[in-house]
Amino acid sequence: MMSRNPDRIFYGLCLAVALGLVFLVLGIGFTLLSGSWLSLKKFGLAFIWHRVWDPVSEEFGALPFIVGTVVTSLVALLITIPFALSSGIFLAEYAPARMAGPLAALIELLAGIPSVIYGLWALFYLVPLVRWVEMKFGAPPFGLGLPTASLVLAIMILPYAASITREVLKMVPPEIKEAAYGLGATKWEVIRGVCIPYSLSGIVAGLLLSLGRALGETMAVTMVIGNRSEVPTSFWDLANTMASVIANEFTEASKDLHLSALVEIGLLLFLITLLVNTLARIIIAKLQVK
């Protein structure tokens, strides 16, 4: 009976897996919610803008970590955009095929490097560099903190942003481009007037995906951000991020409220990621070429 109907079996299997994934996400959300219940009850919404994180007196607020996460990720994205766009455009439009293939592979290779290696590299190479710059600017010469973390994040998300940009640019139908050339447009005009508008939604979506990756990055950031759980007062300051405070304090959080507050940070991170993804969807829908 069943074996005569492989279509139905396949359909059922795919449906089950798809639904399973949805339930997995719901389950994660639910676990985070129930794990942070104690802290939600105690601090309420004020948890989000409270500036103190003090495990000794059991006073917890997430603002320092939210600021750290958002600032490092956004700055990383800003640093990455010009590099990602230019390398994506170059690989898709200018580079001869013999060169574009290996170069693209190389960029994708960057995405495969484990984050702890980025962290180590940043510790030994970026830290002295940032320290030198900080001394030039008269900032406290930590070498660690927001600038270093943003830089290492920018480098880590660059391969994602660059390869997505290249892929979507390659999907621009050649007919439209040829039509533009036929009208006498130069290469630059074609790229600016045809390719980029056509693939804008894809490029933005790619950038937002990279932002999502930056928001959740833990290891490399922990190694260079300085892990200072206060709201940073300047861009040169030491800071902390949501992912890294969880990684740091979770194992030894023996008080229930401390543990619960950490889980609530996880919940907030989950919501922020969800928000970024939803935003990406909306932007894609709005920018889609009709």
Partner 1 sequence: MKKWWLWLVLGWWAFSGGALAGKITLLGAGATFPYPLYSKWFHVYYQKTGIKVNYQSIGSGGGIRQILARTVDFGASDAPMTDEELAKAPAEILHLPMAIGAVVISYNLPGVPSGLKLTPQVLADIFLGKIRKWNDPRIAQLNPNLKLPKLPIVVVHRSDGSGTTFNFTYYLSLVSPEWKKRVGYGKAVRWPTGMGGKGNEGVTGYLKQLPGTIGYIELAYAHQNRLPVAALQNKAGNFVLPTLKSLSAAAKTHIPPDTRVLIVNTDAADGYPLSAMTWILVYKEQAYGGRSYERAKALADLLWWCVHEAQEYNEALFYARLPENVVAIVEKLIRSMTYKGKPLRP
The 3-state DSSP class for residue 84 equals: helix
CA distances from 72 to 163, 218, 225 (A): 22, 12, 9
> With CB under 8 A as the contact rule, which of the stretches 70-78, 99-107, 171-179, 237-245 interacts with partner 1?
237-245
Sign for the CA dihedral angle at 156, 157, 160, 162 comes to negative
For residue 168, how many other CB atoms are within 10 A of its CB? 22
The 3-state DSSP class for residue 60 equals: strand
CB of 212 or CB of 232, closer to partner 1:
232
CB of 92 or CB of 269, closer to partner 1:
269
Whole-angstrom distance, CA of residue 226 vs CA of residue 239 = 6
Q: Of 226, 236, 260, 280, which one interacts with partner 1 (CB under 8 A)?
A: 226
Q: Tell me the closest approach of the beta carbon of residue 258 to partner 1, in angstroms.
A: 8
Does the footprint of partner 1 cover residue 131 (CB under 8 A)? yes
Q: Which two tokens stand for residue 279?
A: 């935003």
Does the footprint of partner 1 cover residue 228 (CB under 8 A)? yes
Q: Of 87, 240, 241, 260, which one interacts with partner 1 (CB under 8 A)?
A: 240
Q: Tell me the closest approach of the beta carbon of residue 79 to partner 1, in angstroms.
A: 22
Q: Tell me the closest approach of the beta carbon of residue 72 to partner 1, in angstroms.
A: 15
CA distances from 15 to 8, 18, 23 (A): 10, 5, 12
Does the footprint of partner 1 cover residue 175 (CB under 8 A)? no
Which neighbouring-strand residues pair with 60? 53
Tell me the per-residue interface mask from 258 to 287 with partner 1, x by CB under 8 A, - otherwise.
x-----------------------------
Q: Which two tokens stand for residue 50?
A: 């409270």
Does the footprint of partner 1 cover residue 242 (CB under 8 A)? no
CB proximity list for 150: less than 8 A, separation 6 or greater: 71, 72, 75, 76, 79
CB of 29 or CB of 55, closer to partner 1:
55
Does the footprint of partner 1 cover residue 129 (CB under 8 A)? no
CA distances from 37 to 62, 137, 273 (A): 15, 45, 20
> With CB under 8 A as the contact rule, which of the stretches 1-9, 99-107, 155-163, 220-228 interacts with partner 1?
220-228
Cβ atoms of residues 152 and 220 within 8 Å: yes
Whole-angstrom distance, CA of residue 83 vs CA of residue 154 = 10
Whole-angstrom distance, CA of residue 67 vs CA of residue 139 = 20
Q: Tell me the closest approach of the beta carbon of residue 108 to partner 1, in angstroms.
A: 29
Q: Of 69, 199, 201, 227, which one interacts with partner 1 (CB under 8 A)?
A: 227
Q: Tell me the closest approach of the beta carbon of residue 272 to partner 1, in angstroms.
A: 22
Q: Which residues between 16 and 75 bind partner 1 (CB under 8 A)?
A: 52-57
Q: Of 32, 162, 220, 223, which one interacts with partner 1 (CB under 8 A)?
A: 223
Q: Tell me the closest approach of the beta carbon of residue 64 to partner 1, in angstroms.
A: 10
Question: How crowded is the C-beta side of 281, counted as CA atoms within 13 Å?
Answer: 6
Interface with partner 1 (CB under 8 A)? 52-57, 123-124, 127-128, 131, 140-145, 222-223, 226-229, 238, 240, 244, 247-249, 251-254, 258
